[in-house]
Structure formats: structure tokens, C-alpha cells
Amino acid sequence: MDVKIEESWKQHLSEEFNKDYFKDLIDFVRDEYRNGRCYPPGGRIFAAFDHTPFEKVRVVILGQDPYHGPNQANGLCFSVQKGVQKPPSLQNIFRELNDDLQMEIPEHGDLEPWADRGVLLLNATLTVRAHQAGSHQNKGWEQFTDAVIRILSENRENLVFLLWGGYAKKKGARIDASKHLVLTSGHPSPLSANRGMWFGNKHFSKTNEYLVECGKTPIDWQL
């Protein structure tokens, strides 16, 4: 199956693209986009991969679903289009970034610069029906993104995986922690963050400390 995705990812994921589940998934997604409003825009479904080629990945942040409101989702987890109000989880991510690295809180919520600098912003499910959270779960996306995580874990070394919340921790359970740094914490959503499970995790500074120890360039987290 010819999937429009960045070339290095196409090579590494070619086996997945030819599996029956993926063909069924694409048929489902095409029908959903044809018959109703879905997010992100069709050309942005694989934006995480297009902005962060396989060999340029240094950090992986795992999300769950794309935002399902108008003009929010841009194909990168936790990220929203410029001009769109920052969702509560993203506000808390920026607050922790400010506390951890004393960086100014950005005026917008578009994380595309992070993706361009080597942060794979990967949702477990890459599409969603408008105003219906979780509507494209259990259709095959999770199997596909599990394969992405496995391929990265097996074929790269010294990556940083940021697993925020129970869902991300479960999804990242098979990452080889002997080869990579796996950092976990509560989810940045207000429910978790306000119970003391998010703020103070210092994941941004810990990520950069590890990358420097491994002889890699730290991430510039400023937007």
C-alpha cells in the first residue's frame, strides 16, 4: 500500500502498511473523512512522521487522541494550530517547562518547532471524528503506533521516551529501558496535575541531561 509519509518512515514501516489490519484501518478512515468531519485535516494525519524523520528522532512524547474540536488538531500530540486557545493539558506542560527551565510560556500552542528538532509527538490514535472523543479508537491505529514504538526501541539507541499518564505508561511498557531513557509521570491534565502527579517532574531538564551524557544535542524547548 502506498502511504504518503516521510520516506525514512515509509521504509521502516513498509511491513505494517501491507498488513490486513492496516488496509482495513485506511478503508475505515477514508470512509469517515468522506462521510463526515474528522480531525486532523487529511494531509496532517502523518504530520508527526513528516516533521521528525526516523533517524532524527531524539525524544518521543506519547499522547492518546487528537483534539476533536474545530481547528485544534494539527497531527502532533498535545499541539494545536496557532490562533487556537491552548487546552488545559498544554497549559500545564508549558507551566512545567517554565518551572523546570525558566523558559517563557509561549503565546501559542503549536509544537511544530519541537517536532522539527527531533521530538516525535505521537498520538496512539491518529484520527478522530469531530466532537466525538475516542471515536477512532480500536480500529487499528493503536496496533500501528505500537509498531512505531517497537521499531524505534529496537533500531535506535539512547532515545528519551516521555510517558505521561497511565495510558502512555501502558503503551510504552515494552520499550527497552536498557537502551533508552524512559521517564514517567502523571498526565498534565488538570485532574492529574492538580493532585500533584505532574508538576515538578522536571522531564525537560532530565531529557536534555541524558542527551548530553550520550553525546547528543539537547532539545531547544523554546517555541
DSSP 120-163: EEEESS--EETTBTTTTTTSSHHHHHHHHHHHHHHH--S-EEEE
40: preceding bond cis by omega (within 30 degrees): yes
Task: Choose the catalytic residue: 2, 27, 50, 65.
Answer: 65
Taking alpha carbons only, the member of 124, 123, 173, 176 closest to residue 153 is 176
In this structure, which amino acid lies at residue 45?
Answer: I
Pairing of β 38-39 and β 128-129: antiparallel
**Burial classification of residue 137, based on how many CB atoms lie within 10 Å of its CB (0-12 exposed, 13-18 middle, 19 or more buried):** middle
Share of the chain residues as helix, strand and coil, in percent rounded to the nearest 5: 40, 10, 45
65 among known catalytic residues: yes
Say if CB 198 and CB 187 are below 8 A apart. yes
Q: Which residues are catalytic?
A: 65
